[in-house]
Structure 1
Amino acid sequence: MAKGAHGSRQAAWEFFGTELKRRRENAGLTQVDLGARVFVSGGYIGQFEQAIRKPQLDVAQRIDDVLQTDGFFDRLWRKLIQDQPYEEYFAHVAELERLATKICEFEPALVPGLLQTPEYARALYVASNPFAAEEYIEEQIRARMDRALILKDATRPVYWAILHETALRVPVGGAATMAAQLDRLAAMVREHKVLVQVLPFVAGAHPRMGKMMKLMDFEDAPPTVYTEGVHSGNLLDEPAVVKRVQGSYDLLRAAALSPEASLALIRTAAEDHRRCARPT
């Protein structure tokens, strides 16, 4: 995604916020008043108006109902989300990643999207979309690589990933692609851009080992949790839920190998894949 495209979309969300503020004030409502009527906090309404956060669709629809705007915010929300190269359930998460000061992620079977090489990402998209046009596959890969640019910025978030050893061993895209992916992962760790731990097979069962989770912290907003299912996702910010998920993540972190031992296992797995890729 070109930076210009992102700037244009951000300007559109700022228009959304400006219109929300104007119409709220015309209705004689404070941010707290409107928040109470659409079941979010007044602080959230302020963040919507400043384009710091984007509302979920159901919130935009409730705003239309309260302000009697004849579906204006519903239609604008849908237009902005449709312009995203992501699935609807993930578009808001991609926006929040750019704003996060810290991202903690657990992946039970795959290398996380922010750490993937183009070849690894291609293998995943082709496997899940075997009849898709090449243009669609390329667009999805570009979008994923653009997301990963946040880890190269000077203001990049602290990024802490825990991977199950399965993610190192399954040869996504073949042995050569997998070796290159793990080499890239190891390089990012050595460059101190990310911190990665591995939950090894020998750790045995864990109550959360099969559930992907992403926790995000922000400078001026409450933390959120994102979990994903089959063609669906849940973005949660209820404090009690976030606290429970953080506890689950802490337990995974305690069971995982140290960063140093994890890096050694990543390198070993890369060499194992490389040997499989060599002609016999």
Structure 2
Amino acid sequence: MANVIDPSASMAALFGARVRRLRVAAGLTQVQLGSLTHVVSTRITQIERASGAKPTLKLARALDAVLGADDLLVELWPYVYREAFPDWARQFMEYSEQAVGVREYAAHVVPGLLQTEDYARTVLSVGRTLGGKEQLEERVTLRMERQERLASPDRPELWVVLDEAVLRRPVGGQVVMRAQLARLLATATEGHITVQVLPFDQGEHDVMGGSLTVLTMPDGAEVAYTENAHYGQLVEDPDEVRSFALTYDRLRAAALPPLMSLDMIRSVMEDNHRGAKVPSRSERRRLAQEQLQQSGGRQLRGGGRRVSVRRPGA
């Protein structure tokens, strides 16, 4: 009994304790369970003792199926996985899953919620210490699964401001990037998603060198998350969050209106943007107003925000 880990010590310990209990109930040895799940017996020992590398999602599914856990182990696995992240990152992930509104400024890459699978695979394979191809594919799968919430009944309102650099950096090569830009264009048909582009000609701003996300929770409270290449910070203090929300609104106001942003994305995708001149702010607003009126009686207000207008007799 000295080798039995306290299940309350961590999510990995709880997971291991459940595996051990189910294995014993099934009358299996660690060697037998390892054989049935196609891993060495020492891997089962590590899982039950919460030592060594954390189980992969593939292994959690295999253990669940062999032990007849009725998805218990699969449902526990995300919490085990999150323990690999710092506390602030885990908490931000939990907030994100509950948020009813997501406002995000991305300085370097397309936000995870809008990434294609190939684009995500490229991003996740850079600057990380992975345990191999299996772990990479596992993380890609998780990212794609998180996108499913955008199609669910409780989907959040997503507003994304992309730095122009995000469009022009060919992550994964031209083929991958073209598909990613096409994915961004497809958001035009999704009423709960708005994408704007912050062009280079806007110059310096308050979030240079990093990214910013402001989440709105079901109770109306807000939290902010800032991130650079190596570190992220979760901000919960109401006064600080209000300051970050104002910063985001300024970025949104400085960005191209939604329809003109889609035009720029399309231009980059078609590689016909060379030599194109970004119009002045007043001209952009005038053109965007005309485009919006032509597209169904909508008007612009405050940095390109779309406001529906009731038509006469409607």
Q: Could you tell me how far apart the structure 1 residues matched to 2:216 and 2:119 are?
A: 28
Aligned match of 1:84: 82
Greater per-residue helix proportion: 1
Stretches of 4+ aligned residues off by more than 4 angstroms: none
Which 10-residue stretch deviates more, 126-135 or 219-228?
Answer: 126-135
Aligned match of 1:107: 106
SS at match of 1:83: helix
Aligned match of 2:167: 168
Q: Could you tell me how far apart the structure 2 residues matched to 1:102 and 1:86 are?
A: 26
SS at match of 2:213: strand
Aligned match of 2:263: 264
- Contact 2:209–2:228 (CA under 8 A) maintained in structure 1: no
What's the CA shift for 1:192? 2.3
Q: Could you tell me how far apart the structure 2 residues matched to 1:137 and 1:180 are?
A: 20
SS at match of 1:268: helix
1:181-225 Cα distance to aligned partner (Å, 9 max, x none): 010111022232410110011212223232211100112262100
What's the CA shift for 1:92? 2.1
Partner AA of 1:187 in structure 2: A
Q: Determine what percentage of the aligned residue pairs are the same residue.
A: 37
1:37-79 Cα distance to aligned partner (Å, 9 max, x none): xxxxxxxxxxxxxxxxxxxxxxxxxxxxxxxxxxxxxxxxxx9
What's the CA shift for 1:258? 0.2
Q: Could you tell me how far apart the structure 2 residues matched to 1:86 and 1:185 are?
A: 30
| Residues 1-280 of structure 1 aligned to structure 2 (within 5 Å) | 81-84=79-82, 87-88=85-86, 89-129=88-128, 132-220=131-219, 222-272=221-271
The runs of 5 or more residues in structure 2 that have no matched partner are 1-10, 15-76, 273-314
Q: Could you tell me how far apart the structure 2 residues matched to 1:123 and 1:85 are?
A: 23
What's the CA shift for 1:81? 4.5
What's the CA shift for 1:232? 2.9
Give the TM-score taking structure 1 as reference length.
Answer: 0.65
- Indicate the structure (1 or 2) with the bigger Cα radius of gyration: 2
Q: Could you tell me how far apart the structure 2 residues matched to 1:169 and 1:131 are?
A: 27
Q: Could you tell me how far apart the structure 1 residues matched to 2:217 and 2:210 are?
A: 23
1:74-99 Cα distance to aligned partner (Å, 9 max, x none): xxxxx984333863342222221121
What's the CA shift for 1:130? 7.2
- Contact 2:187–2:195 (CA under 8 A) maintained in structure 1: no
Q: Could you tell me how far apart the structure 1 residues matched to 2:236 and 2:130 are?
A: 36
Q: Could you tell me how far apart the structure 2 residues matched to 1:257 and 1:170 are?
A: 19
- Contact 1:97–1:216 (CA under 8 A) maintained in structure 2: yes
- Contact 2:107–2:166 (CA under 8 A) maintained in structure 1: yes
Q: Could you tell me how far apart the structure 2 residues matched to 1:159 and 1:102 are?
A: 6
1:239-264 Cα distance to aligned partner (Å, 9 max, x none): 11001101111110111000010011
SS at match of 2:82: coil
Q: Which has the higher contact order (CA 8 A, sep 6+)?
A: 1
SS at match of 1:121: helix
Structure 2 vs 1, CA of residues 253 and 121 (structure 1 numbering), >3 Å: closer, same or farther?
Answer: same
Structure 2 vs 1, CA of residues 249 and 218 (structure 1 numbering), >3 Å: closer, same or farther?
Answer: same
Partner AA of 1:82 in structure 2: V
Q: Could you tell me how far apart the structure 1 residues matched to 2:141 and 2:259 are?
A: 31
Structure 2 vs 1, CA of residues 204 and 231 (structure 1 numbering), >3 Å: closer, same or farther?
Answer: closer
SS at match of 2:204: coil
Q: Could you tell me how far apart the structure 2 residues matched to 1:92 and 1:111 are?
A: 22
Q: Could you tell me how far apart the structure 2 residues matched to 1:221 and 1:195 are?
A: 20
Give the TM-score taking structure 2 as reference length.
Answer: 0.58
